[in-house]
Amino acid sequence: DAGVIQSPRHEVTEMGQEVTLRCKPISGHNSLFWYRQTMMRGLELLIYFNNNVPIDDSGMPEDRFSAKMPNASFSTLKIQPSEPRDSAVYFCASSPTNTDTQYFGPGTRLTVL
């Protein structure tokens, strides 16, 4: 298996632009998680889905952030409009049914100028 796939790996954009991060979970995994990692705050859970349904989005920082999972093999995290403080590494992770281990993707490094 290729593992969790994220794209792009790096994104540099200007303040005010829309940013879309993409994730393909491991095939057969039923849970998907979006995290943000920064120097100051470490690893933070933003939102997670179970069977494509958002279960807990309490970690989403603001209305500028939104996430979707239209099917079992694809999820997006969108930031609109982006701000410099959104600069971070964003990780997607997936987990199989009935286990608690999460498998992380390589991350997307976002820089907002």
- Summarize as ranges the residues that interact with another protein (CB under 8 A): 4, 31, 33, 37-43, 45, 48, 50, 55-56, 89, 91, 93, 95, 99-107, 109
CB of 112 to another protein, least distance (A): 15
Residue 23's H or E segment, with its range, is strand 19-24
Q: How many CA atoms lie within 13 A of 88 on its CB side?
A: 22
Q: Quick one: 2 or 41, whose CB is closer to another protein?
A: 41
**Interatomic CA distance for residues 16 and 31, integer angstroms:** 31
CB of 92 to another protein, least distance (A): 9
Q: Quick one: 52 or 81, whose CB is closer to another protein?
A: 52
Residue 7's H or E segment, with its range, is strand 5-7
